[in-house]
């Protein structure tokens, strides 16, 4: 028999979101009358908007004609979409041939981990989107989990006391640094001076940043950077991943992109873009052409206006959740509330409580599912993440229930 892959065996438990779904269904089975509302996984709920539907539909019809049919396309995506991303979303700070269209940010993060391989020092914000750590363990870049997280990973705590921006001076030589802004789960958005610090440290240490900007469309404050390439020097030290999932509800349609600047090189001088192209053309056959036409529609004037309305809707949900939590008190020690203004997540701390206990409490007392902060890393303990992706009436109902309970 084949031996189990030891790197996968090193993972300590199931992936966070299926784990939550498991607990939710066990609860639903035991309490069939409970009307459970999920503010847990960041999964979009509102329908696709009309102009984007038109873009998708036209693509489908076109594929049904002899002139319009196409099979495999360029693995890096439609030229028109790559150009539109470079122009509309990056104001030409990057070139269209540096844009690699994908089937989503999560899939690209996995492929990037493959690109850098097992012999790399991984640095993450703590808490962080679990794919950075779990994927690093799976590729062999990190070992078994100990009391303070996985061995081989440098965790940079992001807490209220540092404004959820870590001490970047702890990034050592030749590291692969995952950085997410707007942040999942804290909802914090790094300012320009903060990102300048990050880029300077990466340059000083010869490190590479994987900048995950999957929630950039939720930034409303014009002072806050939406891309790492707004920072001078980032082209020599950063890759950026992004997604159509949250801005236009493509969580199920699947479409994203990764930017690899041509100046970024490995120690031996090989351009990273060359290896990325080699890797993706070998193990990825391109994003769905239909999805790409939907993405294209989202980047013209009408599409951008629809995107704004959709993201405004979720931000309004976030504001409702924030207000509810702030008007607590839910627990004797009170609740601290962060995020939710330029990001679709509200990050709430319940001092003296364990995240999973608070998760169980809300599930049991309000039938509301949230995400336990400890699932995002050691510094997430005592926190709960509330997702603003939900129908308004469900969010209002969940908030109504939340406002009536008290943790003892
Ligand atoms: N990057 C970040 C920071 C995310 O939070 C998510 C989704 C993704 C990437 C995934 O983007 P795709 O383009 O759709 O692949 N995070 C959600 C969903 C959970 C998951 O496992 O992806 C969340 O609830 O955190």
Q: Which residue has the tokens 């924030």?
A: 322
pLDDT > 70 fraction of the chain, expressed in percent and rounded: 100
* Residue range 338-343: mean pLDDT, rounded: 98
Q: If you take atom 23 of ligand 1, which residue's CA is the nearest one?
A: 42
Determine the distance separating the centroid of ligand 1 and the alpha carbon of 389, expressed in angstroms: 12
CATH topology of domain 6-48+303-402: 3.90.1150
In the chain, CATH 3.40.640.10 sits at 51-300
Q: Is 108 in the pocket of ligand 1 (CB under 6 A)?
A: no
Structure tokens at 34: 């409970």
For position 53, what pLDDT does the model report? 98
Which one of 111, 184, 380, 387 would you pick to mutate in the ligand 1 pocket, going by the greatest count of ligand atoms within 8 A of its CB?
184
Q: pLDDT: is 407 or 126 the higher one?
A: 126
Q: Is 41 in the pocket of ligand 1 (CB under 6 A)?
A: yes
In the chain, CATH 3.90.1150.10 sits at 6-48+303-402
The yes-or-no verdict on residue 4 having pLDDT over 70 is yes
The yes-or-no verdict on residue 185 having pLDDT over 80 is yes
Q: Is 405 in the pocket of ligand 1 (CB under 6 A)?
A: no
For position 328, what pLDDT does the model report? 75
For position 331, what pLDDT does the model report? 79
Ligand 1 atom closest to Cα of residue 246: 14
Determine the distance separating the centroid of ligand 1 and the alpha carbon of 398, expressed in angstroms: 23
Q: pLDDT: is 157 or 407 the higher one?
A: 157
Q: How far apart (Å, rounded) are the C-alpha atoms in residues 328 and 236?
A: 46
Q: How far apart (Å, rounded) are the C-alpha atoms in residues 291 and 278?
A: 23
The yes-or-no verdict on residue 11 having pLDDT over 70 is yes
pLDDT bin (cut points 50, 70, 90) of residue 222 is: very high
Q: If you take atom 1 of ligand 1, which residue's CA is the nearest one?
A: 214
Closest CA to 405 of 348, 366, 367, 363: 366
- Looking at residue 190, the DSSP 8-state letter turns out to be -
Q: Is 106 in the pocket of ligand 1 (CB under 6 A)?
A: yes
* Residue range 249-278: mean pLDDT, rounded: 98
Alpha helix positions (H), 327-385: 355-366
Burial, 57: exposed, middle or buried (Cβ in 10 Å; 0-12, 13-18, 19+)? middle
Task: Say yes or no: domain 51-300 is CATH 3.40.640.10.
Answer: yes
pLDDT bin (cut points 50, 70, 90) of residue 135 is: very high
pLDDT digits (tens, 9 = 90+) for 276-293: 999 999 999 999 999 999
Q: If you take atom 17 of ligand 1, which residue's CA is the nearest one?
A: 42
pLDDT digits (tens, 9 = 90+) for 290-314: 999 999 999 999 999 999 999 999 9
SS3 content of the chain, % helix, strand, coil (to 5): 45, 15, 40
Query: Against a cut of 0.95, is the pTM above it?
Result: yes
For position 148, what pLDDT does the model report? 84
pLDDT digits (tens, 9 = 90+) for 23-67: 999 999 999 999 999 999 999 999 999 999 999 999 999 999 999
Q: How far apart (Å, rounded) are the C-alpha atoms in residues 33 and 108?
A: 40
Q: Is 130 in the pocket of ligand 1 (CB under 6 A)?
A: no
CB 121 within 8 A of CB 155: no
Q: pLDDT: is 348 or 148 the higher one?
A: 348
Determine the distance separating the centroid of ligand 1 and the alpha carbon of 106, expressed in angstroms: 6
**Strand-pair category, 256-259 with 238-243:** antiparallel
Closest CA to 374 of 122, 12, 16, 43: 16
pLDDT bin (cut points 50, 70, 90) of residue 329 is: low
For position 330, what pLDDT does the model report? 75
Q: How far apart (Å, rounded) are the C-alpha atoms in residues 345 and 185?
A: 6
Mean pLDDT, the chain, integer: 96
For position 336, what pLDDT does the model report? 96
Ligand 1 atom closest to Cα of residue 251: 14
């Amino acid at each position: 028999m084949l031996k189990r892959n030891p790197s996968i065996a090193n993972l300590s438990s199931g992936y966070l979101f299926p784990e939550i779904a498991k607990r939710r269904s066990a609860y639903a089975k035991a309490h069939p009358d409970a009307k459970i509302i999920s503010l847990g996984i960041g999964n979009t709920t509102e329908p696709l908007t009309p102009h984007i539907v038109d873009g998708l539909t036209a693509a489908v019809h076109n594929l049904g004609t002899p002139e319009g049919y196409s099979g495999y396309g360029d693995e890096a995506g439609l030229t028109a979409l790559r150009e539109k991303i470079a122009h509309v979303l990056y104001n030409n700070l990057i070139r269209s041939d540096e844009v690699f269209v994908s089937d989503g940010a999560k899939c690209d993060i996995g492929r990037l981990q493959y690109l850098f391989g097992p012999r790399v020092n991984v640095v993450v914000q703590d808490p962080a989107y679990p794919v950075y750590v779990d994927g690093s363990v799976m590729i062999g870049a990190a070992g078994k989990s100990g009391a303070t997280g996985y061995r081989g990973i440098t965790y940079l705590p992001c807490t209220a006391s540092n404004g959820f921006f870590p001490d970047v001076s702890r990034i050592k030589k030749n590291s692969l640094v995952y950085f997410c802004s707007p942040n999942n789960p804290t909802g914090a958005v790094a300012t320009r001076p903060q990102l300048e610090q990050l880029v300077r440290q990466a340059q000083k240490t010869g490190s590479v940043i994987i900048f995950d900007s999957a929630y950039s469309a939720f930034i409303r404050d014009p002072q806050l950077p939406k891309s790492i390439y707004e920072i001078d020097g980032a082209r020599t030290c950063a890759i950026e991943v992004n997604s159509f999932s949250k801005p236009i509800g493509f969580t199920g349609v699947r479409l994203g992109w990764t930017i690899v600047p041509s100046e970024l090189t490995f120690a031996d001088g090989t351009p990273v873009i060359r290896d990325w192209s080699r890797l993706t053309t070998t193990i990825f056959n391109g994003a769905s052409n239909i999805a790409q036409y939907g993405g294209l529609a989202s980047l013209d004037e009408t599409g951008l206006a629809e995107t704004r309305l959709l993201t405004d809707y979720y931000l309004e949900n976030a504001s409702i959740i924030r207000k509810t939590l702030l008007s607590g008190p839910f627990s004797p020690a009170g609740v601290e509330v962060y995020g939710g203004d330029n990001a679709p997540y509200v990050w709430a701390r319940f001092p003296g409580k364990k995240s999973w206990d608070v998760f169980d409490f809300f599930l049991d007392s309000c039938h509301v599912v949230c995400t336990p902060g400890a699932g995002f890393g050691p510094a997430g303990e005592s926190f709960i993440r509330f997702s603003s992706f939900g129908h308004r009436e469900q969010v209002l109902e969940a908030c109504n229930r939340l406002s009536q309970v008290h943790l003892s």
